[in-house]
Amino acid sequence: MPFKIRYSLEEYNQAIALHKQGLGSLRISKILGYKTRGAIEDWINKGRKPYYSSKKRMQYCNSIKTVERMRAMNKLTQPKAVKISAELRTKKLPEYAKELTEELAYVLGVVYCDGHVSVKQRRVILSATDQDFVLNFKDKLEKWSKFKTRFYSRNLKKPDYIKTRKLQYVSYIDSKEASVFLKEFDLTKILNSTNEIKYSFLKGCFDSEGGVTERISFYNTNLEFTLLIKNLLKSINIDSTLLSRGITNEHSKAKTIYILSINKFIDKLNYLNNIGFSIKRKEEKLQKYLENKSKLKNKDKITIINDKID
């Protein structure tokens, strides 16, 4: 977890109030959830306030000298920002990027499941807690589009009803044409494509909304899309069963979730050998499950292939 560098005036007031009650800096830092107590000692012993709330900083930010300096900087940077924004709005996809490739198939699988495409914001984006998943998406997105792909991590503010929330990793590109292209892509083309493209698309889908227990499962709220996944699995000789489940809770609207399950051992082995996961924890869980199952069948020698499609 990164160190906290921005403290609010409210936190400062809480720390001072706790100090007046007789608590020391170490105890206060634990109560407020700080990793170190250096800031609290500055507040208590040196009379300093948080940097972003200090009187000295406020005076500096509001001074005539600072305002004039910022105005001069804006005159230089604003034309550059306008130019960059215009380029992002009008930047064209290469013609070859409109052909259905393995990279494009993976990107489509992710954005139609766990990712997001916004034509209004001109953005194709994925945010997830598995770093290896987001980095793999970044790699495929960059190879397909040839656009600069951004990557960073963030801590999202959690609602009161969520106990814990993990660090999120984010990757995205800014392009209106790429957003429109992905949004309007005819996914049925994948049914008539090569097996390699089907594998790549399915990998993107199962990386996003797949799970591994004693079976491999895929979850989605769109029945038509889930049936497409089922037909794609069938076309590569993997059987699956389709179930539905109604979900209701106080924090979201009632909805139906459709669940595809791959249950047979041979189908799970086929999935691992041809599709797999880019998420290491899912890949290892599935491989370990199949290895344990194959040991139980001591008469059958089954080899698990380790070379997966990227």
Range of the domain at 20: 9-60
pLDDT of residue 175 exceeding 50: yes
pLDDT of residue 217 exceeding 60: yes
Least confident of 33-42, 44-53, 192-201: 44-53
* CA 280 from centroid of its chain's CA atoms: 15
Structure tokens that stand for 96 in this block:
């070859």
Count of residues in the chain: 310
- The CA-atom distances, in angstroms, between 136 and each of 64, 142, 151, 273 are 48, 10, 11, 19
pLDDT of residue 3 exceeding 60: no
Q: Rounded CA gap, 35 and 4, in Å?
A: 8
The better pLDDT of the pair 171, 295 is held by 171
pLDDT of residue 194 exceeding 50: yes
pLDDT band at 24 (very low <50, low <70, confident <90, very high): confident
Q: What is the mean pLDDT of the chain?
A: 84
Average pLDDT over residues 190-209: 96
- Amino acid of residue 234: K
189: nearest Cα among 181, 200, 180, 198: 198
Q: How many domains does the chain have?
A: 4
Q: Rounded CA gap, 263 and 229, in Å?
A: 15
| Model pLDDT, residue 235 | 96
The verdict on residue 4 lying in a domain is no
Structure tokens that stand for 203 in this block:
């990998």
Least confident of 74-78, 102-106, 144-148, 303-307: 303-307
Please check whether residues 211 and 301 belong to one and the same domain: yes
Q: For 126-162, what is each residue's pLDDT tens digit?
A: 999 999 999 999 999 999 998 889 999 887 766 665 6
State phi, psi for 113 to the nearest 5 degrees: -120, -75
Please check whether residues 119 and 83 belong to one and the same domain: no
Enter the DSSP assignment of 120: T
Please check whether residues 125 and 224 belong to one and the same domain: no
Please check whether residues 193 and 158 belong to one and the same domain: no
| Model pLDDT, residue 251 | 60
Integer-rounded Cα Rg, in Å, for the chain is 26
Q: Give the global pTM.
A: 0.67
pLDDT band at 227 (very low <50, low <70, confident <90, very high): very high
Instruction: Among 159, 185, 211, give the residue marking a domain's end.
Output: 185
Instruction: Among 168, 185, 202, give the residue marking a domain's end.
Output: 185
pLDDT of residue 47 exceeding 90: no
| Model pLDDT, residue 89 | 58
The verdict on residue 82 lying in a domain is yes
Class of residue 72 by CB neighbours under 10 A (exposed 0-12, middle 13-18, buried 19+):
exposed
Please check whether residues 144 and 128 belong to one and the same domain: yes
Any idea what the CATH number is for the domain that residue 153 is in?
A: 3.10.28.10
- The CA-atom distances, in angstroms, between 13 and each of 6, 16, 22, 153, 161 are 14, 5, 15, 30, 27
Please check whether residues 177 and 110 belong to one and the same domain: yes
Q: Is 47 helix (H, G, I), strand (E, B) or coil?
A: coil
Please check whether residues 118 and 223 belong to one and the same domain: no
Average pLDDT over residues 235-251: 86
